[in-house]
């Protein structure tokens, strides 16, 4: 009989090399396919993750980077490279599951974007000055303005900004009364301000002149009084201003001569 050798079988070390860098950002997955193909042509076992790095960038964009290293048994003294076992395959399966989880986390983060806190406070101040007998603004009592779809509030994502911003406030013909809150001027990304065909009283807040992004103001069909604020004349993007059927008095401000984009007054 052949005596078993007392020398233990040769052990094989693991030779690791980068396989791919997978980046998850803005709904896109990028992979270094060239490196993967290069490894596949050399043979070896499936990859498993060597390092995982997660980074959250400012500006609302999450970028998760997973660095995968291919680890296959190094050649023994005879130059042969053993085939990987099931353990290596299990590691590869774990890497795939991890990558999927990171994708889901990225989507959840994007969905979790909220309205800019300053604009939330401004909308609450606007709501506090309004009387809503028909309960048209009942949604304004819960959730986030943009993600909970507050009535009349239209939001958009601004590039390189983590928050959602109110770009349109459309509260026309809702039988609202009360006054316009000065805090409306804090809606810094507003393009459209529409309160026509309500029963608003009081003055037009001069703070509206702080919203340099405004292109349309429709306040006609209310009971607004007082004079036109000079500040409105410095809204260079404003192309439509409707204030008829109110009780506005006084002369047209000289600053209105700066409204070079105006098409309807």
The number of domains in the chain is: 2
Give the three-state DSSP class for 257. Answer: helix
Q: What is the pLDDT of residue 265?
A: 75
Per-residue model confidence as pLDDT tens digits over 200-229: 999 999 999 999 999 999 999 999 999 999
Same domain, 61 and 177: no
Domain boundaries, position 238: 117-258
Tell the residue number behind the tokens 């316009």, with chain if given: 180
Among 114, 101, 103, residue whose Cα is nearest residue 26: 103
The overall pTM is greater than 0.75: no
Cα–Cα–Cα angle for 88, 89, 95, rounded to 5 degrees: 95
Q: Is 25 exposed, middle or buried (0-12, 13-18, 19+ CB in 10 A)?
A: middle
Strands (E), 57-160: 62-73, 130-131, 153-157
Q: Which of 62-76, 124-138, 228-242 has the lowest mean pLDDT?
A: 62-76
- Let me know if residue 151 belongs to a domain: yes
Same domain, 100 and 170: no
Residue 22: pLDDT over 60: no
Same domain, 31 and 84: yes
Per-residue model confidence as pLDDT tens digits over 113-140: 899 999 999 999 999 999 999 999 999 9
Q: Rounded to whole angstroms, how far apart are CA atoms 101 and 188?
A: 37
Same domain, 57 and 90: yes
Q: What is the pLDDT of residue 97?
A: 74
* Average pLDDT value for residue range 75-84: 56
- Let me know if residue 34 belongs to a domain: yes
Tell which wins on pLDDT, 176 or 261.
Answer: 176
Tell which wins on pLDDT, 246 or 72.
Answer: 246
How distant is the alpha carbon of residue 166 from its chain centre? 12
Same domain, 200 and 231: yes
From 111, 141, 156, the end of a domain falls on: 111
Q: What is the pLDDT of residue 81?
A: 54
* CATH code of the domain in which 153 resides: 3.80.10.10
pLDDT band for position 25 (50/70/90)? very low
Residue 19: pLDDT over 60: no
Per-residue model confidence as pLDDT tens digits over 143-162: 999 999 999 999 999 998 99
Q: Answer for the pair 220, 196: CB distance below 8 angstroms, yes or no.
A: yes
Same domain, 207 and 78: no
Per-residue model confidence as pLDDT tens digits over 95-114: 667 676 565 544 434 444 89
Same domain, 158 and 48: no
Same domain, 47 and 173: no
Q: Which long-range contacts (CB under 8 A, 24 or more apart) does 219-223 make?
A: 219/193, 219/195, 219/243, 219/246, 220/196, 220/244, 220/245, 220/246, 221/196, 221/197, 221/245, 221/246, 222/195, 222/196, 222/197, 222/198, 222/246, 223/199, 223/247
Q: Rounded to whole angstroms, how far apart are CA atoms 218 and 193?
A: 6
Please report, rounded to a whole number, the percentage of residues in the chain having pLDDT higher than 90: 53
Average predicted confidence (pLDDT) for the chain: 75
* Average pLDDT value for residue range 66-91: 53
Q: What is the pLDDT of residue 256?
A: 92
Tell which wins on pLDDT, 66 or 202.
Answer: 202
């Amino acid at each position: 009989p052949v005596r078993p050798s007392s020398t233990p079988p040769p052990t094989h070390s693991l030779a690791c090399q980068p396989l791919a860098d997978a980046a998850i950002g803005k709904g896109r997955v990028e992979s270094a396919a060239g490196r993967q193909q290069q490894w596949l042509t050399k043979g070896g076992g499936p990859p498993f993750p060597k390092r995982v790095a997660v980074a959250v960038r400012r500006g609302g964009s999450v970028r998760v980077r997973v660095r995968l290293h291919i680890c296959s048994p190094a050649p023994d003294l005879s130059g042969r490279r053993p085939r990987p076992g099931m353990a290596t395959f299990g590691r590869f399966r774990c890497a795939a599951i991890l990558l999927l989880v990171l994708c889901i986390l990225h989507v959840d983060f994007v969905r979790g974007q909220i309205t800019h806190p300053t604009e939330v406070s401004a909308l609450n101040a606007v709501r506090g000055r309004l009387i809503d007998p028909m309960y048209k603004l009942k949604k304004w009592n819960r959730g986030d303005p943009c993600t909970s779809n507050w009535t009349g509030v239209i939001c958009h994502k601004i590039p390189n900004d983590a928050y959602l911003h109110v770009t349109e406030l459309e509260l026309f013909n809702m039988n609202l009364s009360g006054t316009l809150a000065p805090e409306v001027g804090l809606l810094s990304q507003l393009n459209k301000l529409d309160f026509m065909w309500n029963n608003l009283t009081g003055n037009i807040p001069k703070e509206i002149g702080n919203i340099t992004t405004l292109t349309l103001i429709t306040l006609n069909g209310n009971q607004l009084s007082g004079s036109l604020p000079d500040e409105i004349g410095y809204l260079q993007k404003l192309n439509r201003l409707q204030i008829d059927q109110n009780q506005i008095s006084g002369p047209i401000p000289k600053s209105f001569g700066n409204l070079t984009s105006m098409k309807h007054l």
